[in-house]
Amino acid sequence: MSAFYLSSGIFLLGLIIQVFYERSSARSKSWVKFLFFGSAGAVFLYYVFLTVAQYFVWKTNGAPYVYFLPPHKSIFYLLNHHFIRFGLYYLISFGIAVLFLYFSKRFNKKKGFKFFESEEPYFGALSIFLLGNPNWYWGWVWYLLLIAVFSLSFSFVREKFFGIKERMSLYSLWLPVGILVILINVVI
């Protein structure tokens, strides 16, 4: 549940940046970029803390826990235990987020910056990364599907009912849909 609070707090910071800074300004882009890479660092430090805390819990609780630590087992047993249980999910989602960031920025540049505003790839990458929590099992897949569904639905409604045929910006959808995926996964 603590990863829920960490992710929710980072999403809240992202929403504050989205609301209070002017779109596509240099300041908002630098804050969103810092938030993406800072959140990756915060998650890494959080799991380092959890690994160290697990070491001391096993060390102080005696048998049978001390037998999972040196000299009975290698320290890599503890590191592997935490990496497989927690870190692997975030590592996968970070890789997907970096790929999304790279290809969305590259595609947008190739098409003359008509698909995304400058912060949007970072908002999408941030959401993909934060939804890599092990308790949310591939939350970033559901996230990308929901982004597509909301985008198509809003575009359909705008065109059919309001006659607006121009492309809708996803700027205001990236973070709220990420929060929606977290809430759905917590409730379920």
Residue given tokens 């959808």 in the structure block: 173
Q: Regarding predicted confidence, which is higher, 117 or 136?
A: 117
Q: Residue 91 has which token pair? A: 């590592």
CB-CB contact of 129 with 90 (8 Å): yes
Q: What predicted TM-score, i.e. pTM, was given to this entire model?
A: 0.86
* Distance set, CA 72 to CA 63, 67, 83, 108 (Å): 12, 5, 20, 54
The pLDDT tens digits of the residues spanning 88-121 come to: 888 888 999 999 999 999 999 998 888 888 889 9
Q: How do residues 139-181 score in pLDDT, each as one tens digit?
A: 778 888 999 999 999 889 998 988 888 878 888 899 999 888 8
In angstroms, the CA 84 to CA 88 distance is: 5
| Predicted pLDDT of residue 136 | 59
Helices 174-187 and 2-20: angle between axes, nearest 10 degrees: 160
pLDDT of residue 46: 87
